[in-house]
Structures are given as C-alpha cells and as structure tokens.
Amino acid sequence: MFLDQALPTFIAESRELLDAMESALLQFALAAPQEDTVNAVFRAAHTIKGSAGLFGLDHIVAFTHVVESVLDRVRDGTVTVAEPLVTLLLSCADHMRALIDTTAAGQYEPNAASTATGSALLDRLQQHLPGALAAAEPVPRVETAVAADAGANNYWHLSLRFGSEVLKNGMDPLSFLRYLGQLGTIVGLETLADALPPADEMDPHLCYLGFEVSFDSTADKAAIEDVFDFVREDAQIRILPPHSRVADYLRLIAELPEQAPRLGEILVRCGSVTAQELAEALAAQAAAATPQPLGSIMVAQGVVPPVVVEAALAQQQQLRGKGQETQTVRVDAEKLDQLINLVGELIIASAGASLTARRAGDAALQESASAVSELVEQVRDRALQLRMVRIGATFGRFQRVVHDVAREIGKDIRLQLSGEDTELDKTVVEKLGDPLTHLVRNAIDHGIEPGALRLERGKPAQGTVRLHAYHDAGNIVIEVSDDGGGLRREKILAKAEARGLIEPGQSLSDAEIYNLVFEPGFSTAEQVTNLSGRGVGMDVVKRNIVALRGSVSLTSTEGVGTTVSVRLPLTLAMIDGFLVSVGKAPFVVPLEMIEECIEYSAAPGHHYTDLRGEVLPFVRLRDVFALDGAAARRQSIVVVRQGGVKAGLVVDALHGEFQTVIKPLDKMFQRADRLSGSTILGTGEVALILDVPALIRQATAAAPPAHTQFSCNN
C-alpha cells in the first residue's frame, strides 16, 4: 500500500541514474572507456533493475537484465566497446527512460509499441551475449517443493525477518523475494507470522512477517546481499552458503526469535539438515560436555530436516555499512514555489512595517523593525538559494545532442564545457533547455564546416562547439560558440534587403547586421534540412530569452567562428532593487546593473553627458513614459551597465535600495516596452521595474561618436 508513495522517488532516481548512464556512455565515444566509467554504467543499470523489481515492474527488470548482462561482459573484457555498441546502449537507455516515463504516467504494463521497440533492441543485444545469458528468464521462478532426492546443503539458506517499520518506509517484503528470483530459483519458502499479535491489537501499518528461504543460485554472496540493499537497515538478514556445517544451522536457530521446535519444523520443510546429521552434531556436543538445550529440544520434538536450504553467513551483514545518513532531502517543487511566494509577501509586509515605524518616530520601534528587516533579508537569500541549481546538469544533456546530430549529418564534432558549477534559478534552468538546444544544433548544422572543407582551410577535421557559463554583474551569461566558418556579412545584408528588413545602402554596424538573424523567418541556409533552413528558430530563441527577462546577442568572425551570448537574471522571483521616482511615479532599477549615481549635467537638447571624459548616452524616463509635470530642479543620472555598455537614466529623485518582489505584469501590459515587471512598495503603491537592457539600447542608438569632444560648458 505504501509502494505508491515510494514510486515517485523511484521514478526520479531512475531518471537521474539514466542521465548518469547516458553521460558515462558518451564518454565511451570520446575515448577508450576506463574501468570506473564502465562500472558507473553497470551500477546505474543494476540499480534501476533492482528498484524496478521492488515495484513488480517485471518488463523493466527483464529488459534491464539483458542490458546489465552485456555491460557485465564489457566489464570483464569479453565484449569490446566500439561506436556501434555505444549507439546501441544509448538507444537502450532511451528505451529504459521511455519505460520509466510510461510508469510515471500510470501505465505499469508494457504496450505494443514499447514491446516492439524492446524486442528489436534485445535482438541486437543478444548478439553480444552467449545463448544462456541472452535467454535469461525475465520472470522470477519460485518452487516451494523440494525434490525428494535433493542433496543436503546444496543451496543457499536465507533467514529474513523484516522490521515492523518496513511498510511505512514504502517497501514491500514480497517484492524482494520476487527480485531474488531473478538471480536463481527459490526451491523452498516458508512464511513466518509468529510475531503477529491478536487481531484486536494488530496495527495494519506494521509488518510482522519473516521468511525462511532455500535458494538455488550460482550468484555470489555479494550479489544476494545487494537484493536487500534498500531494506538492510529495516530487517535482520542472515545468509548461510551451500555446504554449511550442521553446527551453523544450530547456531542460526539459536539466534532467531522463534521457538526452536517451530524453527526445526520449518527447516524440515525447507530442507535444512538430515536427522543423521543433526544426531551426529548433538552427539559431538555431548561428548565435548557442551550442554545444548536447543539440540535436546529439537531431538525431543523429533525435528529431522532432509535437505539444507543453504544460505550465506550474514549475521554481520545486517550491521554491515549502515552508510552515512543522507545529507539531502527531496522537496516537491510546488512546495518550494509556495515558500518563495510566502517569503515575497513577508518582504512586502516587512517594508510596510518599517515605513510605519519611521512615520511613528519611535526609536525602539524603528530598531525592532530594522532587525526584522535584516532577518527577512536573510530568509529571502536562503530561500532563493534553495532554488539555485548548477547549470552543469543542463550542459551535460548536450553531449547526447552533439553525438546524435553529428552522426546524423556526418560531421566529427566534440562538445567542450566550462563553467558547469555556475548556479541559477531552477525555473530559469527549466525554461532554458529549448533555446540552448536550438543554438547548439544550429552551431552544428550551420556553423561547423564538413571535415574535408575544414582540412582545406587548415583546420582540424574535428569541429568544436563550446558551452561556457559565468556570472557577470548579477546576471548569468551563457555562451554558445563554434570554431566554424562564421557568418558572412554580405550574405546577411543581401538577404535582409531582399526581405525588406533594411533599406538598400543602409549603413549598419556589425552587431546590427548579425542580429538580423533573430528576425522572424530569416535564414541564409541554401538547403532545407531536418535541422534548419526553414527560417524558424532563432526568432523563437530570442523571444523565449526575452520572456525570461534576458537578452541575446551574436558576434562572428568569418572563417573563425560564431558566438551567441545569452544573458539572464539569476532568479525570476526577487531581486535587490534601487528605488527612484519621476514626479510621483516610482520605478525600480535592478541594483546589480547600477554602476553609480551622478548629478544631472548636459547641454540643452543633448542626450549624452561627460562621465570623466567618457561619452555617456542617457534617456530621460519622463520622456520615455510620457509623464506629465515639470522636471525637478535637481535631477540625477543613474549610470547602468550591461556587459560592456553603459548608459544613464535621468530621474527626479533617488530613494535607495529596496528588496524587490517581482510581480508579473497584467496581460494588458505584457507587451509594454522597457518594463520587465512590477512590485509592491511598503505604502501599498505599485512600482514598475525597468527593463534596463532595452533602455540601454534606446540610449546607445542615439549616442554620439565615441570621439566626441566635450567643452567646458558640457
């Protein structure tokens, strides 16, 4: 009943293991596989198989078992790793992921399509396996009867006593027996319910079961122990190997909680020791003057077992490596989002309390409000850190994209990653996958030349696509670059003129020309392929990035390569802001983009000023938003920067730093230019958050030449 609660954890962990498996397999394609890498792939498949067995997902167990068998032969060197095998194993990982996804959707049995796909893959896998392994039984075999002529002590013997909390922890005792059947044949099985209390005292949430199992298998002790990895801490597991001494069984019975006669009867049915073996053991103990009340009771009760259900000595195994307690906790994403929303409301309420304290003029109240504000700020920072994830996991997915696409179009391309430890908001990461995928595929298809052409140009035949991430001024910058042929300036201009995007003869900078590729429907591809050439994609990339309050730019050098830079905020929930106003209208500027604030000074009619000998273009927010009223007698310029570009924002008043909870604009205003959101002030007023990159572009569009000379009047 509790397996349904544990299933989401199984699905999440299986997906993580498949990601790790895919990453390791892609390393095979880059270089000769190392032992650690091979073991990592094997462990991933083995763990998925074991976990699937716990939930009775026999179709996943059966398929993964064959994959595991092939990987085992890779481990021992019997099978050599080559490109076709890597491709096959990647396809198997995809199929396993599809099976996990259908399970997550509530489908616990294979459908016709997945069965056909799995069968085709199994046929290919069996080419790497001897007949016995290839035809391995997918369903556990359980035989409760013991052959009359079976020899004593020929089997493993397992004594299993599951802890009372095992069901509460989401584990099903029967699933372990089912999975055990994957390693061999259960030839004897006795269920013990001696610990079961009277019906009126029984707790249906607790487990009272135990099992004595006779097990025929060629597996080693470690493999049998691994079956019970997930329940080791919640159970007592004792294993005796084949051909154990009768004294070992007597010792085992002495350690078990049930009464000796009862255990003797069970060992008889499972097949433990013969009457002759038991009598000889007791006689030897008597001769050694060693009192053995247990043996006496068993003989008095006439307990005579015929065939020992062999099991591996494991009293120490129940205490073996109680691994370190986990240091992480899985939290549902929705709960995390709710926490962030509540923290945002707390910030707004705290700002209101601080404002009320200042208006009251009570020093003690102001001090208390200030202390609360500091604590709220710390809570905000910690809450936001909970949503921060490394971008390395997103980057890692593109190894597979590059591998598959390069093979599809017949190019030799490698992916180079850097900055994988850079962190940003989980929400941003989730929405970043599609734009980055298109940029990477575009670099492979358009950017990297065919190998023969690269050799003619003096380049190595293997092309390189790079993904690089780093922090800059409170933002994260992700660069997708290639060492291909670069963009042809004249070709882009000709295409833009033909489509009416620019006037013939219009003078544009390199940046303006290259950014034309982000126009809807723009494409310079001469042929339409499965990957590109239909004039869709780059405009969607830009739209998705802008929707994340980010920006995208492109630089290129013909014959050298192209770099696309994506700049994004670290989080979409809260920022440190700087509150300014124009007349009675409040605005918020993201604090990390502010360089400094200076007094307004400019010649009449000019849209630039002198910043220590440097031309600083600016925009007047009063003009940008068509605000009524006269400008303040003493205005200020907020100097902002994005990348290496500076500009100024002319405002009437500066109000200082402000913890800003970002609220989305209503649909009516979502297309409003130069605004990226809104927030609520402590007074209850709504302040608009400025889209600084858009304002910088507006300011620099009318900027004077960099060599402009300033007179003393400026």
d(CA 555, CA 492): 13
Task: Enter the tokens of residue 144.
Answer: 């409760």
Helix, strand, coil percentages (3-state) for the chain, rounded to 5, are 45, 20, 35
Residues 276-315: tens digit of each pLDDT: 555 455 455 544 544 444 444 344 334 333 332 233 223 3
* Mean per-residue pLDDT, 266-280: 53
Q: Is the residue at 283 inside a domain?
A: yes
On whether both 277 and 244 belong to a single domain, the answer is: yes
d(CA 489, CA 563): 15
Lowest mean pLDDT among 193-202, 277-286, 567-576, 683-692: 277-286
Domain end: 252, 283, 300, which one?
300
**Between 180 and 285, whose confidence is greater?**
180
Cβ count within 10 A of residue 345: 11
Cβ count within 10 A of residue 63: 29
pLDDT at 482: 93
Cβ count within 10 A of residue 133: 17
Q: Grade residue 5 by pLDDT with cuts at 50, 70 and 90.
A: low
SS3 of 361, please?
Answer: coil
Contact 57, 69 (CB under 8 A): no
Per DSSP, the residues of 444-464 read IIIISPPHHHHHHTT--SSEE
d(CA 508, CA 652): 35
**Residue 133: pLDDT above 50?**
no
d(CA 568, CA 549): 7
Closest to 642 (Cα-Cα) out of 593, 690, 700: 593
* Mean per-residue pLDDT, 556-579: 86
**Residue 455: pLDDT above 80?**
yes
Q: Is the residue at 245 inside a domain?
A: yes
Contact 511, 534 (CB under 8 A): no
pLDDT at 531: 53
d(CA 545, CA 623): 27
pLDDT at 94: 92
On whether both 469 and 369 belong to a single domain, the answer is: no
pLDDT at 324: 39
Lowest mean pLDDT among 281-295, 301-315, 602-616, 682-696: 301-315
On whether both 81 and 186 belong to a single domain, the answer is: no
d(CA 401, CA 177): 40
**Residue 487, CA distances (Å) to 195, 302, 516, 555, 564 in order:** 77, 92, 11, 9, 12
On whether both 116 and 155 belong to a single domain, the answer is: no
Q: Is the residue at 182 inside a domain?
A: yes
On whether both 160 and 292 belong to a single domain, the answer is: yes
Q: Is the residue at 712 inside a domain?
A: no
Lowest mean pLDDT among 189-193, 216-220, 223-227, 414-418: 189-193
Q: Grade residue 387 by pLDDT with cuts at 50, 70 and 90.
A: confident
* Mean per-residue pLDDT, 695-707: 73
SS3 of 615, please?
Answer: strand
Domain end: 569, 589, 604, which one?
569
**Residue 584: pLDDT above 50?**
yes
On whether both 587 and 641 belong to a single domain, the answer is: yes
pLDDT at 710: 53
CATH of the domain at 439: 3.30.565.10
Q: Grade residue 4 by pLDDT with cuts at 50, 70 and 90.
A: low
Structurally, the chain folds into a number of domains equal to 5
Please report how many Cα atoms fall inside a 13 Å half-sphere around the Cα of residue 67, on the Cβ side: 34
CATH of the domain at 104: 1.20.120.160
Range of the domain at 616: 574-701
Q: Is the residue at 322 inside a domain?
A: no
Domain end: 368, 387, 406, which one?
387
Closest to 567 (Cα-Cα) out of 424, 409, 680: 424
pLDDT at 311: 30
d(CA 459, CA 481): 16
Query: What's the sign of the alpha-carbon dihedral 571, 575, 581, 586?
Result: positive
pLDDT at 92: 92
Residues 109-120: tens digit of each pLDDT: 888 888 889 899
On whether both 415 and 382 belong to a single domain, the answer is: no
SS3 of 15, please?
Answer: helix
pLDDT at 22: 87
**Residue 477: pLDDT above 80?**
yes
d(CA 313, CA 157): 9
Q: Grade residue 527 by pLDDT with cuts at 50, 70 and 90.
A: low
pLDDT at 32: 65
* Mean per-residue pLDDT, 365-380: 89
Q: Is the residue at 311 inside a domain?
A: no
Task: Enter the tokens of residue 394.
Answer: 């997103």
On whether both 262 and 230 belong to a single domain, the answer is: yes
pLDDT mean across residues, the chain: 78
CATH of the domain at 203: 3.30.70.1150
- Which residues is 641 bridged to in the sheet? 646
On whether both 608 and 642 belong to a single domain, the answer is: yes
Place of tokens 């050599």: 80
CATH of the domain at 603: 2.40.50.180
On whether both 348 and 400 belong to a single domain, the answer is: no
On whether both 410 and 280 belong to a single domain, the answer is: no
pTM across the whole model? 0.58
On whether both 581 and 697 belong to a single domain, the answer is: yes
Q: Is the residue at 323 inside a domain?
A: no
**Residue 183: pLDDT above 70?**
yes
**Backbone dihedral region for residue 664 (phi beyond 0: left; psi -120 to 50: alpha; all else: beta):** beta
Place of tokens 């302040």: 687
Lowest mean pLDDT among 56-65, 142-151, 187-196, 568-577: 142-151
Q: Spell out a b/e string for 570-587, using b for 16 or more CB atoms within 10 Å of the CB, else e.
A: bbbbbbbbbbbbbbebbb
pLDDT at 291: 41
pLDDT at 258: 67
Closest to 558 (Cα-Cα) out of 602, 503, 492, 615: 492
d(CA 474, CA 227): 48
Q: Is the residue at 627 inside a domain?
A: yes
d(CA 439, CA 432): 11
* Mean per-residue pLDDT, 669-679: 77
